[in-house]
Amino acid sequence: MSAQPGRDGADRRFSALPGRPGKIVAVHLNYVSRADQRGRRPAAPSYFLKPSSSVAPSGGTVERPAGTELLAFEGEIALVVGTTARRVALARAWDHVGWVTAANDFGLYDLRAADKGSNVRSKGGDGFTPIGPGLVDARTVDPGALRLRTWVNGELRQDDTTAGLLFPLARLVADLSQHLTLEPGDVILAGTPAGSSVVVPGDVVEIEVDAPDAPGAPTSGRLVTTVTQGDHPFDDGLGALPGVDDTQRAEAWGSPDAAGLEPAPAPFRLTTELHDKLVRAPVAGLSAQLRRRGLDAVTVDGVRPLHPDAKLVGTARTLRLVPGREDLFARHGGGYNAQKRAFDTLDEGDVLVIDARGDAGSGTFGDILALRAHARGAAGIVTDGGVRDHDAVAAVGIPVYSAGDHPAVLGRRHVPWEVDVAVGCGGTTVEPGDVVVGDADGVVVIPPALVEEVVDAALAQEEEDGWIAEQVAAGHPVEGLFPMDAGWRARYDAWRTGR
């Protein structure tokens, strides 16, 4: 198929394309590097539409509207549909792509909150979708071996390949064709990798898509856009006005540090000394000390250990499961779902706490995921649901507390929903970062702000209880000794001083 750029005559906005596209469909999140930067990996692609009026040619300008500050570039690969695609199979989807080229999916984060994900205003402005300058014949390249690079004022800011996509290019075509007819000239924007950030008036953004390993190393050439300052403010009597906060600033710039913000507090981590103290402190003693401080609902009830002799000490990561429903499981249960993400992102010393609502009617994980947790250095797993593959999980050796065993897979009762949120497990609330301690008596959850005070008090009480036990074993009655009256207290204090 041959391209016919500029057939729209004098309207040079579409000079790099066969004509004015009927629709432009963009993917929200598609590169592993970008997903990891954002801290979430979707299980399936999601999309938004951009108007064709936002298309601009190479060598043009993009205006940052008056009263805004967060105009961000996003270098992307653009797929230009060559032949009509409707409900095409994945194996044939690439056949319907005519060309690939470079695109810039500019976004105005100042208007992001007003759009609630539709991106109509935040990404639909005039000039917000530069495309070009040249088209690469899709038949001459491997869709899994395309390279995308972005420069700002000559400095390389993005450099990634389609090998790093969450959802391959052909999958986007096949998926979209299930829902709408892709027509010749339509454009699909395939997502941006890590490195997207804010640009200001005077900045020059250049984007290139090429296939360096293909014969002749075909390239789109560099798509060049200069940022200018607009002087027309938004009319406050018509609609939502621009507004930003530190969350939008961090996402627009790429990180809190790049945005000049104070870094987020580091997650709570146990020191080696504190960890060792918790290993020595019994759960019963920790529970007693928490109760003295007004915290009684801190035990994970109804769970028992697979390894009663193993001590569990770590900080909580969480996974929330919602009640099983077939349509929800079809959307959230497959692919790289929340359950897999939770296990795949555990760090050394983490305890994965799974909220299964006390429903042990299926497994909430099995031996493969237990192995993954162990390989990641996790301290243990606590679930108020069931465990599948009991013997194999036990053989892994990682401390596990569960409400029982069950042979069925997770989908029988549960839908994996979200990670690292406050959850309910065994009748208590667990927040990410809480300290989790387990032994043969059960599991207790300790707020990080109290952990040092509580463990020191528990160890002191343990020492005291040990001395009392020695006195009872020696034949003394418990009256006045447990708890100690003034006389016994004096004897105990003297014993401690004389040690």
Rounded CA-CA distance 410/414 in Å is 6
Residue 439 known to bind ligand? no
Contact 85, 78 (CB under 8 A): no
Token pair 């001459």: residue? 140
Contact 353, 430 (CB under 8 A): yes
Burial of 307 (0-12, 13-18, 19+ CB in 10 A): middle
Contact 270, 435 (CB under 8 A): yes
Contact 202, 114 (CB under 8 A): no
Rounded CA-CA distance 127/55 in Å is 6
Rounded CA-CA distance 422/278 in Å is 23
Residue 231 has phi, psi (to 5 degrees) of -125, 15
Rounded CA-CA distance 206/213 in Å is 21
Contact 211, 145 (CB under 8 A): yes
Tokens of 457: 């008090």
Query: CA dihedral defined by 313, 319, 325, 328, rounded to 10 degrees?
Result: -160
Residue 369 known to bind ligand? yes
Those residues whose C-beta lies under 8 Å from the C-beta of residue 293, and which sit 6 or more positions away, are: 450, 454
Contact 193, 105 (CB under 8 A): no
Rounded CA-CA distance 27/239 in Å is 26
Residue 397 known to bind ligand? no
Residue 296 known to bind ligand? no
Contact 283, 399 (CB under 8 A): no
In what side-by-side order are the strands of the sheet with 223-229?
A: 60-64, 223-229, 204-210, 147-152, 155-161
Residue 389 known to bind ligand? yes
CA-wise closest residue to 303 among 360, 346, 352, 343 = 360
Residue 186 known to bind ligand? no
H or E stretch including 190? Answer: none
Give the annotated binding-site residues.
Answer: 366-369, 388-389
Give the annotated binding-site residues for Mg(2+).
Answer: 389
Give the annotated binding-site residues for substrate.
Answer: 366-369, 388
